[in-house]
Amino acid sequence: MASITLTPSEEEIQNFVLHYQSSLSPSKNPYIRYFFKLPQVSISIYTSGKVLFQGESAENYASFFGYQTNQEISGQDCPLIGTDEVGNGSYFGGLAVVASFVKPDQHDFLRKLGVGDSKTLTDQKIRQIAPLLKEKIQHQALLLSPSKYNEVIGERYNAVSVKVALHNQAIFLLLQKGVEPEKIVIDAFTSSQNYDKYLKNEANHFSNPVTLEEKAEGKYLAVAVSSIIARDLFLENLENLGRELGYQLPSGAGAASDKVASQILQAYGIEGLNFCAKLHFKNTEKAKKLLER
């Protein structure tokens, strides 16, 4: 999905509003003066004077202000919210989702800190820099505990729709804090069609357009920040759950998880696994079979 940000004159903005006034739509964002829904594009005109075009026809409508397709646009050279989740592929531990708001003047600080895709950083490095990120970067972190995850999966949500709910809620709460992004990027875990389908079931909505991009944590510092904070939150939760049960809980969903799960099952029963693991994973059945041997 194309995203273009321009800063036209006030006269140009008023001419645009007059020309497309029949397509004006309401916006709950206090920082958006005018919001338009047009064929294959949404257009937000902010109180700051910035105009954001998002959608397949972004270039067509941006041409109203003299935008040309060969103009070089930096993907993150604007105030941006990026989100990511950690824990989705791990049997033990909860599901952590974080939305972070990063401005261009923070890029140097983040790069000097070594911020990048959390998958390329060691857990030790993540635990080291996450507190600094939490202090310096506006963000919203959410953690769905394993027991709550097990409660809602199959009843109200599936493995995809629960992530849609968490990403949407993290962004919504961060916007409520008054941040003014010109772009919102989610590290894609499903298609845009799926995301929009499940989003209809959520109570909280916002008018800002959202872009889902694959491998976004390697493209946008805001997504990388969210990835690191979410990983730190997940690891902390994993440690706390294991401490309460008296076991070291492994990350991931491999054979090590099967073995520890069978031990917890023997010691505490299914209630113990419900407390620390995502029960719909195949590891639960594998753990039961290990006990039968």
Res 42: pLDDT: 93
Residues 128 and 37 in one domain: no
Q: Which whole number is the average pLDDT over 92-104?
A: 97
| 210, 190: one domain | yes
Q: Which residue has the tokens 């004077």?
A: 49
Tokens describing residue 147:
């027991």
- Mark whether 109 and 198 lie in a shared domain: yes
**Domain-ending residue, one of 42, 65, 88:** 65
Question: Where are the strands (E) in the chain, listed by range?
Answer: 3-6, 24-25, 32-38, 41-46, 51-54, 80-86, 95-102, 138-144, 183-187, 211-213
Say whether pLDDT at 71 is over 70: no
Same-domain check for residues 195 and 165: yes
| Distance (Å, whole) CA 68 – CA 238 | 50
pLDDT at 247 over 50: yes
Q: What is the C-alpha separation between 29 and 47, in angstroms, rounded? A: 10
Q: In the predicted model, what is the mean pLDDT of residues 73-94?
A: 90
Q: How far apart are the first and last CA of the chain?
A: 53
Check which CATH number belongs to the domain holding 15 and give it.
3.30.310.10
Q: Are residues 9 and 53 in the same domain?
A: yes
Q: What is the pLDDT of residues 108-136, one digit of tens each?
A: 899 888 886 566 678 888 999 999 999 99
Confidence (pTM) = 0.74
d(CA 224, CA 187): 9
Whether residues 169 and 253 fall in one domain: no
* Interatomic CA distance for residues 106 and 76, integer angstroms: 11
CA R_g for the chain: 22
Task: Say whether both 102 and 148 belong to one domain.
Answer: yes
Confidence of residue 68 (pLDDT cuts 50, 70, 90): low
Say how far apart CA 128 and CA 117 lie, in whole Å.
15
Residues 6+ apart with CB under 8 A from 232: 126, 127, 130
Cα separation of 141 and 135, whole Å? 13
Number of domains in the chain: 3
**Is the per-residue pLDDT at 237 higher than 90?**
yes
Model confidence at 288: pLDDT above 90: yes
**The pLDDT of residue 73:** 38
pLDDT digits (tens, 9 = 90+) for 184-195: 999 999 999 999
Q: Report which of 234, 189, 187, 238 is spatially closest to residue 215, judged by C-alpha positions.
A: 187
Domain that holds residue 288: 246-292
pLDDT at 69 over 60: no
The average pLDDT across 11-31 equals 91
pLDDT of residue 291 exceeding 50, the answer is yes
pLDDT of residue 117: 56
Answer whether residue 72 shows pLDDT above 50.
no
- Has residue 72 been placed in a domain? no
Q: Which residue pairs, CB below 8 angstroms and at least 24 apart, start in 56-61? A: 56/1, 56/2, 58/2, 58/3, 58/4, 59/2, 59/4
Q: Mark whether 101 and 193 lie in a shared domain.
A: yes
**In this structure, what token pair is assigned to residue 228?**
């690191």
Residue 238 CB coordination number (10 Å)? 21
Q: How many CB atoms lie within 10 A of CB 291?
A: 11
pLDDT value, residue 35: 96
Is residue 70 predicted with pLDDT exceeding 60? no
- Mean pLDDT within 145-161: 94
Judgement on whether residues 187 and 157 belong to the same structural domain of the protein: yes
- Mean pLDDT within 12-19: 90
Query: Residue 43's pLDDT is what?
Result: 95
Residue 292 confidence class, pLDDT cut points 50, 70, 90: confident
Asked if the structure places residue 284 within a domain, the reply is yes
